[in-house]
Chains A and B, each alone.
Chain A
Amino acid sequence: MITDGLRELVPAVIGVLVRRGADFASAEDAVQEALIRALETWPDDPPRDPKAWLVAASWRKFLDAVRSDSSRQGRELAVDLEPPAGPVAGADDTLRLYFLCAHPTLPPASAVALTLRAVGGLTTRQIATAYLVPEATMAQRISRAKKRIEGLALDRPGDLGTVLRVLYLVFNEGYGADGTEHTDLAGEAIRIARQLAALTDDPEVAGLLALMLLHHARRATRTGPGGRLIPLAEQDRSRWDTGMIAEGVAILQAALARDRLGDYQAQAAIAALHADAPSTAETDWVQIVEWYDELLALTDSPVVRLNRAVAVGEADGARAGLAALADVDPGLPRRAAVAAHLHERAGDLARAAELYAEASRTATSVPERDHLTRETARVRQLLRP
């Protein structure tokens, strides 16, 4: 459908308006309005040159807004009616847009919303639906975010790290969804990361893209009927998307060859080892533990320690896993679930049942809670004489 390519035009068109002298906030509003118009009219009346159409429509919306603003405030119209023949917006403008939308001064939820609208080309309604909040609330969240970054020039050097964090947040929000009911946030994060990878040559951008592809390739097998969570060990590996895995692995290998390791590349390397294994038993857990050690050296975090303890449990046995778990903050969500799994493997079913029950009480999502409740029930059944 013709509207499929529409969203990808959005960041470039915002760039064109900004080049012509519009401020970012007004340019972004104008493009959003033109986008909504395009979504309504293009299916019946597709333009010959979609980008030219969107630029022209956005520029008109921008002028309308400036005119009504000027007449309201009795000010002179400061912008020429005819667009100045400035330089064409290029890749650098689009990259600056990523930096601005994920600016470190923005709260994460605001950076996510603004990135999805200005970089992802989603409508406010689509974003509101994906995050289950009213459209008015989402509109305000976006407009406040724009006020907050007002005056920050588009030409300041940006922080790629915050851009990647925002994209990973979007991806993880879409992790459990099947992509049919709501906006496909995981697919959206991958699409935006692909655009970003084309604009930069940073190996961490490639690392994040590879990581998302490698996880996304397993999507169809992660949930069963009724949204039931299926753990890695029980997933039907024959249904993993091998094409997507191959692409993720190729992107990762090219990134690793540049010898500038970062968090996302290390996480992608772990995901690639899982993707490569025919079963849990045949997984190269020793190498996975080594990658977790790399990750710990890069960024020591409780979550990395927890995941490392799982891998140690597989590589060196449940007792070693429990020993590794001793270093993990007891307040961490999911710690009890990991402890339960390791105690069960070590043969202490009574302790495992207690810990599974504790983990289900402290779970933060419905699929996890239900999964842990089933695990509790399963182990308790084994305990019955």
Chain B
Amino acid sequence: MKYLMLKHYRGGPAPAVDSPPMDQWTPEEVDAHMTYMSDFAKRLVETGEFVDSQALSAEGAFVRHDGEGRPPVTDGPFAETKDLIAGWMIIDVESWDRALELAGELSAAPGAGGEPIHEWLEVRPFLTGVPGNTE
């Protein structure tokens, strides 16, 4: 079963720990955080559970169709949005409990002072492409 672990720049429940934003950490603290994330991903490759991991820029825009022959309308950057996605990791695991266990570990990535940041991660099951035998 595949699950998406979503990391947010903003949004989700109120932070459990009041930690300063990343650009106010020391370079060593930033390195430690990044190393934790990449070690975590490597470990999931070894356990046969890793599918994908990507980070997103905070820049970008909302876009929509505005009628035939007209250029698409954009809105953004996202200064006003309450919820801003920072990136994701996709895992393929045996159970929902295992997905929660891994998300809990990822949320313990170190931040300022080397302490776990306790950040909220959003975990969502994938809908499969296989309808299953429904007859």
Contact = CB atoms under 8 A, between A and B. Distances in A.
A144 B133 CA distance: 30
Contacts of A371: 131
A215 B131 CA distance: 14
Interface string B25-52: 0000000000000000000111111111
A107 B131 CA distance: 22
Contact of B130 (A133, A144, A177, A232): A177
B3 to A, nearest CB: 13
Contacts of B135: 215, 232, 271, 274
B25 to A, nearest CB: 31
Contacts of A110: 48
B127 A366 contact: yes
Given A107-B94, A367-B129, A132 B51 contact: yes
Interface in A57-79: none
B134 interface: yes
Contacts of A291: none
A116 to B, nearest CB: 14
Contacts of A132: 2, 51
Contacts of B46: 140, 144
Contacts of B133: 172, 175, 215
A177 B128 CA distance: 11
**B interface secondary structure, majority:** loop
A108 B47 contact: no
B50 A137 contact: yes
Interface string B108-134: 000000000000000001011111111
B94 A140 contact: no
Contacts of B131: 175-176, 229, 365, 367-368, 371
A366 B128 contact: yes
B48 A365 contact: no
A302 to B, nearest CB: 14
A229 B131 CA distance: 8
B92 to A, nearest CB: 5
B35 to A, nearest CB: 20
A215 B45 CA distance: 35
A109 B129 contact: no
Chain A CB within 10 Å, residue with most, of B47, B49, B125, B127: B127
A227 B129 CA distance: 9
A140 B132 contact: no
Contacts of A369: 127
A144 B47 contact: yes
A363 B130 CA distance: 11
Interface string A96-118: 00000000000111100000000
Nearest to A131: B92
Contacts of A367: 129-131
B45 A175 contact: no
A83 interface: no
Contacts of B92: 109, 131, 133, 137
Contact of A176 (B2, B49, B94, B130): B130
A352 to B, nearest CB: 17
Contacts of B49: 137
A131 B90 CA distance: 13
A335 to B, nearest CB: 12
B45 A137 contact: yes
A2 to B, nearest CB: 32
A264 B135 CA distance: 15
B90 to A, nearest CB: 9
A286 interface: no
A224 B50 CA distance: 33
A379 to B, nearest CB: 18
Interface in A342-382: 363-369, 371
Given A175-B130, A334-B134, 11 more contacts: A109-B94, A133-B51, A134-B45, A137-B50, A137-B51, A175-B133, A176-B132, A364-B125, A364-B127, A365-B128, A365-B129
28 contacts: A109-B94, A110-B48, A132-B2, A132-B51, A133-B51, A134-B45, A134-B51, A134-B52, A137-B44, A137-B45, A137-B50, A137-B92, A140-B45, A140-B46, A142-B48, A144-B46, A144-B47, A172-B133, A174-B130, A175-B130, A177-B130, A363-B127, A365-B129, A365-B130, A366-B127, A367-B130, A367-B131, A368-B132
